Each structure stands twice: as structure tokens, then as C-alpha cells.
Amino acid sequence: MEQQTFYYDNKIVRLFLNATLLWGVVAFLYGLLLALQLAFPVFNLGMEYSTFGRIRPIHTNAAIFAFVGNAIFAGAYYSMQRVLKTRMFSDLLSKINFWGWQLIIVLAALTLTLGMTTSKEYAELEWPIDILIAIVWVVFGWNMFGTIYKRRVKHIYVAIWFYIASFVAVAVLHIVNSLEVPVTLFKSYSVFAGVQDGLVQWWYGHNAVAFFLTTPFLGLMYYFLPKAANRPVFSYKLSIIHFWTLVFLYIWAGPHHLLYSSLPDWAQTLGVVFSVMLIAPSWGGMLNGLLTLRGVWDKVRENPILKFMAVAVTAYGMSTLEGPMLSLKSVNAISHFTDWTIAHVHIGAMGWNGFLTFGMAYWLIPRMYDTKLYSIKLANFHFWLGTLGILFYAIPLYWAAFTQTLMWKEFNADGMLAYPNFLETVTQIMPMYYTRIVGGTLFLLGMVVMLYNLIKTAYSGKFIAEEMASAPAREVISSSRVAGETVHSWLERRPTPFYILIALAVLVGGIVEIVPMIAIKSNVATIATVTPYTPLELQGRDVYISEGCVNCHSQLVRPFRSETERYGEYSKAGETVYDHPFLFGSRRIGPDLARTGVVGGKMYKNATWHYNHLQNPQALNAQSNMPPYPWLIESDVDVSLTEAKVRAMMSLGVPYTEDEAKMANDLYMNQANLITASLKESGINVEPTKKIVALIAYLHRLGKDITMSKQADGTTTNADSNTDKTAQQ
Amino acid sequence: MRFLSQYYQEIEGIEIYPIIVLLLFMTSFFLMLYVILRTDKKQTDMYSRIPLDDNNSEFEQNNF
């Protein structure tokens, strides 16, 4: 058969790889800054742009979408060309994919710094950027499908399947979770509210982990691990089973665990079975990776690339065992809102994503520059720095999580909370936060060592921008099944039904899940006393969102006695029906704020207290690690938007009247004047349009509606029939 | 997140979901298993060598 000569495009791979390394440094630096801020609040640097609440989403977005995202593209663009024996479909699309993605990252960093955020985790970016992401993602898919179409081989290697599944799933997740109503160019409200918004967000959040951090990296693993070990993958059949089981099961996993937690026993058992089932394909994949190294363990000992990859695959196995465990309700009751989650994700991010990326970079650069790695010693040194970094990061956090959760839940002999002051539980884990800084520093140092090593390597060689290759053209066979051909080989000769199958496997879970999500809206018991936020409170809520308070404060009191004792009545879904977006939060670095506005409640503080506290928390509690927010006193709310915001809410079904919309700013000023008047009594002079006034109004609203319902009927609670659900925890 | 579950409980017919899921999963899983196990081992061994089959084997020395 005729041999064809063609060229692989290494330039695009190098671009993405450089971006990976650059953004990696940025992501790690931001992470280190966060670690410093939690231990020493001065590192909030006294500017609104650099407080914890704003830096945290930049760190997570940089780590996920900039560092890991570029690594996915680098690895996919390299491996796709080679296993399909063709250049990428279109150099132009490759370039649009690259520059578009970098533009998104820069815009993300800018807008998040400026406090433009939707506050939904890993989906913080505002709507114009969301649209840009969708476009660039489609460009990537287009380029990939075009490349598959013009391939010279018959079989599509399993790594590509993982890329295809990732493409489909991320597209769907991103679009559904980003549905929002714009108010201005950089402000929007989620179309979902409260509990429903929370469900959509966690469906997205869980699967972003699955289909952005896991499946594409499995594709990379199935290509680069065999390459680095110079051995075929242990079992190809296992890799296929791994693929189908994983893509089918993963999408169910997030809300699944919510589903079963208090359903009847038989259903709970089923839920556990499902969680356990997800361990099977994950561990099948891990074993397939590790067993690929069998017979070359002597090489693993001396080859740092294989070392990085072996640890990466092991970390994948650890996280995927821990994940299902964390979703068991008894474990979740103690792990949720603590540093356990943070430790868990970092085993995945630093170990699995980080180490696989490092291994890939050490493997790629010498090859693309036709040279040898500058220093194996330095690479080994990096390996140890990285490994120690992960250990010094994760172990203290597990310790901190257990310490804090036990303190939260401890009662003394009189049946009172043993540590009623939340801050005590923060102070207790400070030593762990210092140790974490060491871990982060080691990890970052390792990265710097790698950069030096790779730059030296690049200088010692010559970049092969166009790598020559040759392969026979693909045979053209009729599209119907040839006699004797298995279903499988027929399928892969004709990729379209294959795509459809993959899409089905991914989507079926999504579709069946969406049904209860929609059903839940009509099932949320409405509470008569819950009314929409006043215009002032609405603006205050947006200040809260913009400053990223949700990154430290939850607004979700769980039905445990340890929580109702500390905060007040547990949260009801009906309270959040006007919350576009929801603000449950995921980590309690500070106390829960859902009951902050309950006058006479455990959490209530007056306006003066909030004013002083927000201005300088350390002045009230020297050990607090909450950042000071003095600029909230200086800067004004943009009241020209008040009416537009109210109207945007109306378009989402929030029952404001036409008059309320028209007089939004009058209502705003009336309420603000009351607050400034009460502040004046304490000798504080502040104008009613300042951000702090709106924020105080919002804080004073939290939980208030529930107490109104009590006063109205004189019963403890009519809001919910599930009062007796308060667990004895 | 546990507080959400009580609202799930109130959705009519929610118990059917896990059963649908389980059936769906089991059917597709066994179908897949059947197809894969029937695939010729020689063929999958060949597939598993795809990443190694570069025609630039001069790179395959141990130049990490």
C-alpha cells in the first residue's frame, strides 16, 4: 500500500506545554498566597483585589483550567496526531484553541480580581467569558473530530475515547450550569435558585472533577505511560471496560450520594453499591496503569519520569477510593465543611494531575528538541520535593480536619458545646496551616527546579517544529459490516455511531438526573414568611458575592444538634427560593452565617459590631484570620443598577411588584438611612450608599424570615414538617 | 448536603430512579462485557501497541 509522508505539528504542543508550565507557576503561587493568608491575615495585603475571597477562585480556576487545561491540550494534541497517524485537522483551529484558551484565562484572572464572579465554584466566570469558553471548547472538538475523520489508521486508540467523552460531558455540564440572566456585561444571576441551584452546581462540580481532571488525564495516561515505559498497556480489554464503566457511572455520582442519604434502607444499600461500583473502574484503571510498569520496576527506580507517573497513578487510586468514602453519609457528616475536602482534592490535583503533567513534560521536551534531558539528578530532586510537598500539604490538613470537626461536635458533661467560640477551633489548627505552607513551598520549588531543567534541556537541543512521519493511507471499506467482522471493529471504522454511544453513555445519567432536579422545585415547601430581598439587601448580597465571603462562610445549618446548638435552627430549602445563586458554601473557615440575622439568636450581632468587625476583624479578635475590609466603608454601591437588578430577578420569577422595581432606589435609601442612623448612635458616620451599609442589611436579613414564621403562628416551626429530623450528632 | 435528601424523599416515584439506573447499568455493562470478551485477543494486543508504533524509533533509546 502507498506510504504517505506527512508532518506532526509540534509547535502547538510546545505552545500548550509552555502555557501549562507558566500557569502552573501562577496557580501554585496563588495557592501559596492563600495558605499564607489563612495563617497570617497580613498576606491579604490590604487591598480588595488580593483578599482571600477573591484569590481563592483565581487559584482553583488557574489550577483546573489553566494548568490542567493546558496540559490536557498539550498531551491531547501530541498523542492524537500520533495514534491517528495524521497532522491535526486544521492548524488554524489549533491556534484559535490555544489563543482563545489563553485569552479566557487572562480575562478570568482580571475579572475575578475585580470581584466579578457568579460565586458558583469552578464556574465563577461571568457570562461573556462563559460564552467564549463554549466557543473555544467547540473549536477544540471540531479540530479533534476532523482529525479523527482524516486518520490513517483503522482503530481509534482508547486514549482518544477518553478525550471524546471529556469533550461531550464538559460541553453539557458547562452550558447547563452557566445558564444565567445578565444584568450588565459582567454581572448576572443564575437562572436556578437555592436548593435547585445547589443541585445543578454540584452535579456540575462533581463532574467537572470527573470529566476535566480525570477522564482526559486517563487518556494521557493510556498514551504517555506506555510511551515512557516503552511497553504496551497491560490489558487493552481492561482499558475498554475501564472506559465504558467509568463514563457511564461517573455522571451519576454527584447527586446520587445525596439521593440515598435518607431514603429507605433498600435504597441506601443500592446507593452504597453504586459508590462502590465507581471504585471498581477507577481501580481497574489504576491497576492497568501500574501493571503496565510490571517488568520495568528496575527502570522505575532510576527513571524519574516513570516515578512521577507511578505516583500519579497511585494518587489517582487513592483519590478515587477516598471520594466514594466521603460520599457515605456517616463520613460526610464529619468531613463536610472541613479541610478534609481540601486535602482530598489536593491529592488529586497535586498527585494525579500535577505529577502526570510533570512526567509528561519531562518526556516531551527532550523528544521535541531531539536531545536528552539536561539533568536526571535534578528531575529526581524535583520528584522528592514534589512528593514531600504533597505529604506536608495533605497530612496536616487531614489532621486539621479531624481536630476541627471533633471540636465542632464536642459537648461537655452539661450538654453544652465544649467549644462554643468558633474561633477556638480555628486557632487550634493554626500549626497545621503553618505546616501546609511548607508543603506548598516545597511543591512550588520543585516546579521551579523543573523549569530550570527543561529550559536547559531546550537550549541543548533544536526544536523540531515539523516532525516527519509516514504511514500507509487508510483503506476504504464499505460502511456496512464486512463478513466476519466483530461489532466492535465495525463500530470504530464508522466513528459516528461510536460518538453517539459515548454521548449516550455520558448523557443518560445527566438526563435521568435532571428530572428530579426539576421536580424538586415544585417540591420545595414554600414558606409564607419568606419574601424577596429588599433592594438594599439584594445589593448587599452582591457585595457578599463579589468579595467572595462564600469561600469562608457557609450558609447551611445541617440538622445536627452540634450545629443547631451553635448556629440556630437548621436550614430549610424553602428559605432559599429567591437565592439566585445559592450561597451554601463548601468550607467553614469562619462560622456559618445562615442565622446571622436572627435577632436574639446565637449569631446575632448589631450593626455597629458588623461595622467594626468588617473594618478590622483582628481588632475584635486578635486571632481571627478573616481579612479586613476597610474599603467597604469607602466605596459606593452602584445604585444606578438597583432597578435593573430587581428587574432581572423579576424575570426569574421573583415576585417583586412593578412599583417596587420602579421605586427600588427609594426603598434602598429608606432602609439604608435606618442603618446609618443606628450606626450614628455609636458615633459612626457613614453615608447610606456605602457598600458596608448594604452588606450589613444583607447580614441582618439572613435567617430572619424563619423567625417571622414562628412569631406569626406561635409554633416552633411550621416551615417544615421535618423538625424531628434533627440528628443527635 | 444531607438536608437536601429530605426533599428528594418527597418527590413522587423517586424510588424508581435507582432501579432504572441499576437495570440500565447492568444491561449495558453485560452487553459491553460480552462484546469485549469476544474480541480477538490478537487484535487487542495489536491495539495496545498503537502508542509504541511510531516510525521515529530513533527516539526510543533511553533518552529521558
A347-369 tens-digit pLDDT: 999 999 999 999 999 999 999 99
**Exposed / middle / buried, residue A526 (Cβ in 10 Å: 0-12, 13-18, 19+):** exposed
Are the C-beta atoms of A333 and A560 separated by less than 8 Å?
yes
Find which of A158, A237, A383 to mutate to test the B interface (most B CBs within 10 Å of its CB): A237
Q: How far apart are the first and last CA of chain B?
A: 47
Q: Does the pLDDT of residue A34 top 60, yes or no?
A: yes
CA dist., res. A597 & res. A574, Å (int): 17
Q: Does the pLDDT of residue A513 top 80, yes or no?
A: no
**Hey, are the CB atoms on B1 and A488 less than 8 Å from each other?**
no
Q: Does the pLDDT of residue A264 top 50, yes or no?
A: no
Q: What average pLDDT score do residues A718-728 get?
A: 38
Q: Does the pLDDT of residue B54 top 90, yes or no?
A: no
CA dist., res. B29 & res. B33, Å (int): 6
Among the partner-chain residues B20, B50, B64, the one whose CB lies closest to the CB of A373 is B64
Q: What local confidence, expressed as pLDDT, does residue A54 receive?
A: 97
Q: How far is CA A586 from the centre of its chain?
A: 11
Q: A213 pLDDT band (50/70/90 cuts)?
A: very high
**Hey, are the CB atoms on A520 and B64 less than 8 Å from each other?**
no
Q: Does the pLDDT of residue A728 top 60, yes or no?
A: no
CA dist., res. A96 & res. A224, Å (int): 25
Residues of chain A with pLDDT > 90, as a percent, come to 73
Among the partner-chain residues B3, B18, B50, the one whose CB lies closest to the CB of A558 is B3
Q: Which residues pair with A8 in a beta bridge?
A: A467
Find which of A80, A257, A259 to mutate to test the B interface (most B CBs within 10 Å of its CB): A259
Residues near A160 by beta carbon (within 8 Å), at least 6 away in sequence: A80, A83, A84, A144, A148, A219
How many other CB atoms are found less than 10 A from the CB of residue B35?
Answer: 15
Q: How much helix, strand and coil, in percent to the nearest 5, is found in chain A?
A: 70, 5, 25
In B3-62, the residues whose Cβ lies within 8 Å of chain A are 3-11, 14-15, 17-18, 20-22, 24-25, 28-29, 32-33, 35-41, 43-45, 47-52, 54-56, 59-60, 62
CA dist., res. A470 & res. A59, Å (int): 43
Q: How far is CA A291 from the centre of its chain?
A: 31
Q: A58 pLDDT band (50/70/90 cuts)?
A: very high
Nearest to A20, CA basis, from A365, A267, A534: A365
Three-state secondary-structure class, residue A7: strand
Q: What is the pTM of this model?
A: 0.92
Query: Which 8-state DSSP code applies to residue A636?
Result: B
Residues near B34 by beta carbon (within 8 Å), at least 6 away in sequence: none
Residues near A274 by beta carbon (within 8 Å), at least 6 away in sequence: A249, A252, A253, A256, B18, B21, B22
Q: In A485-537, which ranges are E strands? A: none
Partners of residue B23 in chain A, C-beta under 8 Å = none
How many other CB atoms are found less than 10 A from the CB of residue A496?
Answer: 11
Give the residue on A whose Cα is nearest the Cα of B59: A367
How many other CB atoms are found less than 10 A from the CB of residue A610?
Answer: 19
CA dist., res. A353 & res. A75, Å (int): 12
Q: What local confidence, expressed as pLDDT, does residue A491 receive?
A: 67
Q: Does the pLDDT of residue A547 top 90, yes or no?
A: yes
Q: Does the pLDDT of residue A59 top 50, yes or no?
A: yes
Q: Does the pLDDT of residue B32 top 50, yes or no?
A: yes
Q: What local confidence, expressed as pLDDT, does residue B5 receive?
A: 54
Q: Does the pLDDT of residue A225 top 50, yes or no?
A: yes
Residue scoring higher pLDDT (A169 or B22): A169
Mean pLDDT, all residues of chain A: 90
**Exposed / middle / buried, residue A320 (Cβ in 10 Å: 0-12, 13-18, 19+):** buried
CA dist., res. A213 & res. A64, Å (int): 7
Q: What local confidence, expressed as pLDDT, does residue A404 receive?
A: 97
Amino acid in position A437: I
Give the residue on A whose Cα is nearest the Cα of B20: A512
**Exposed / middle / buried, residue A331 (Cβ in 10 Å: 0-12, 13-18, 19+):** middle
Among the partner-chain residues A249, A258, A373, the one whose CB lies closest to the CB of B4 is A258
Q: A573 pLDDT band (50/70/90 cuts)?
A: confident
Q: What local confidence, expressed as pLDDT, does residue B18 receive?
A: 65
Among the partner-chain residues B21, B47, B54, the one whose CB lies closest to the CB of A155 is B47
Partners of residue A573 in chain B, C-beta under 8 Å = 3-4, 7
Q: Does the pLDDT of residue A319 top 80, yes or no?
A: yes
C-alpha cell at A242: 475501564
- A176-185, A247-256, A572-581, A706-715: least confident range: A706-715
Are the C-beta atoms of A78 and A68 separated by less than 8 Å?
no
**Hey, are the CB atoms on B51 and A259 less than 8 Å from each other?**
no
Domains contained in chain A, CATH given: 3-473+486-513 (1.20.210.10), 535-728 (1.10.760.10)
Q: Does the pLDDT of residue A564 top 80, yes or no?
A: yes
Query: CA torsion angle for B10, B15, B16, B18 (degrees, to 10)?
Result: 120
Q: A715 pLDDT band (50/70/90 cuts)?
A: very low
**Hey, are the CB atoms on A372 and B63 less than 8 Å from each other?**
yes
Residues of chain A with pLDDT > 70, as a percent, come to 89
Nearest to A216, CA basis, from A166, A158, A253, A157: A166
Residue scoring higher pLDDT (A63 or B24): A63
Q: Tell me: cis bond preceding A581? Omega within 30 of 0 counts.
A: yes
Give the residue on B whose Cα is nearest the Cα of A292: B48
Q: What average pLDDT score do residues A666-694 get?
A: 97
Q: A253 pLDDT band (50/70/90 cuts)?
A: low
Among the partner-chain residues B9, B20, B45, the one whose CB lies closest to the CB of A263 is B9
**Hey, are the CB atoms on A489 and B43 less than 8 Å from each other?**
yes
**Hey, are the CB atoms on B6 and A262 less than 8 Å from each other?**
yes
CA dist., res. A215 & res. B31, Å (int): 22
C-alpha cell at A666: 427609594
> Which of A307-311, A569-573, A725-729, B47-51 is most confident?
A307-311
Partners of residue B35 in chain A, C-beta under 8 Å = 486-488
Mean pLDDT, all residues of chain B: 70
Are the C-beta atoms of A141 and A167 separated by less than 8 Å?
yes
Q: What local confidence, expressed as pLDDT, does residue B33 receive?
A: 87
Q: What average pLDDT score do residues A303-317 get?
A: 97
C-alpha cell at A709: 414564621
Find which of A153, A263, A273, A725 to mutate to test the B interface (most B CBs within 10 Å of its CB): A263
**Hey, are the CB atoms on B28 and A261 less than 8 Å from each other?**
no
Q: A325 pLDDT band (50/70/90 cuts)?
A: confident
Residue scoring higher pLDDT (A247 or A459): A459
Are the C-beta atoms of A62 and A130 separated by less than 8 Å?
no
Query: Which 8-state DSSP code applies to residue A685?
Result: -
**Hey, are the CB atoms on A259 and B49 less than 8 Å from each other?**
no
Are the C-beta atoms of A82 and A513 separated by less than 8 Å?
no
